[in-house]
Amino acid sequence: VVSAPAGMTDDLIRRAKEISVKPCKRELDMLLAVGEQVSVALLAMAIKELGEEAISFNAQQIKIKTTNSHTNAQIIDIDTDRIKEKLESNHIVIVCGFQGVNENHDLTTLGRGGSDTTGVALGIELEADLCEIYTDVDGVYTADPRMVEKPKKLDKIAFEEMLELSATGAKVLHNRSVELGYKYGLPIHLKSSFDESEGTVVCNLKEENSNIITGISHQSKEALIAIEDLPDKPGVA
């Protein structure tokens, strides 16, 4: 499962906003789904040049069914028959991440980082033992290395803890991918695309001491507003 080339999704969003201050979400999904199709086709070509059989699929071709929520859809079902057929004939199957198709046969997208979710969802449907996610970081740290000096890299982290970190600002993994892994018991191994380091495994862990702090996340673009002396009754806020 691959995502768009670096910077392409941001560029497509910029183009859309040059035309419309608030782009139609259906058309935005049609536009944003282009990035992943560039990646899968080029990767399939590259693998063929190396002498192996490869085939690329988009969400429509393997029927990744989603809800109707454009730009933030959730996967409902994946038809893996075609994937299994190609795997059995020794093809390397490459699938567009981040995208799906709703009940109206319209393209949808899963939100930023949604390729993680596509990968985990496919791992579940194909009954994989493990889902490996290769990205630009080499694992999960106790804090953001860009903000904190010398944080510790975690070898393992519990699904529940990773969910908390993902939901409160850590952008290492798409939170819905962690939810799926947790629900179906599929471990997620986060690794670097650039080196051979071991990364971090997100899995079911028995908490030995619930008082230990696993990590700290942050959100830089938030403000807290306190309004005092409001009557304590429904409807006032």
The total of other beta-carbon atoms located within 10 Å of residue 97's CB is: 27
Confidence of residue 104 (pLDDT cuts 50, 70, 90): very high
What 3-state DSSP class applies to 189?
A: strand
* Dist CA 183 CA 33 (whole Å): 27
Confidence of residue 236 (pLDDT cuts 50, 70, 90): confident
Contacts of 96 (CB under 8 A, 6+ apart): 1, 2, 33, 36, 37, 39, 40, 56, 57, 58, 59, 118
Longest dimension (CA), the chain: 72
Q: Answer whether 202's CB lies under 8 Å from 190's CB.
A: yes
Average pLDDT over residues 77-91: 96
* Dist CA 45 CA 22 (whole Å): 36
The total of other beta-carbon atoms located within 10 Å of residue 138's CB is: 19
Report the share of the chain in percent with pLDDT over 70. 98
At residue 207, the pLDDT reads: 61
* DSSP assignments along 206-228, one per residue: --S-TTS-------SS-------
**Buried b or exposed e, range 36-52, using 16+ CB within 10 angstroms:** bbebbeeebeebeeeee
Residues in the chain: 237
CA dihedral of 135, 140, 145, 150, whole degrees rounded to 10: -130
Q: Answer whether 133's CB lies under 8 Å from 190's CB.
A: yes
At residue 137, the pLDDT reads: 84
Average pLDDT over residues 67-95: 96
Contacts of 126 (CB under 8 A, 6+ apart): 80, 83, 84
pLDDT at 147 over 90: no
Average pLDDT over residues 81-91: 96
At residue 106, the pLDDT reads: 96
Which pTM does this prediction carry?
A: 0.85
Q: Answer whether 172's CB lies under 8 Å from 154's CB.
A: no
At residue 20, the pLDDT reads: 96
**Of 45-54, 65-74, 220-229, minimum mean pLDDT range:** 220-229
Confidence of residue 12 (pLDDT cuts 50, 70, 90): very high
pLDDT digits (tens, 9 = 90+) for 175-221: 899 999 999 999 999 999 998 889 999 999 876 556 678 888 887 78
Across the chain, what does the average pLDDT equal?
A: 92
C-alpha count within 13 angstroms, C-beta hemisphere, residue 114: 27
pLDDT at 81 over 90: yes
At residue 87, the pLDDT reads: 96
At residue 221, the pLDDT reads: 81
Report the share of the chain in percent with pLDDT over 90. 71
Break the chain down into helix, strand, coil percent, rounded to 5: 30, 20, 50
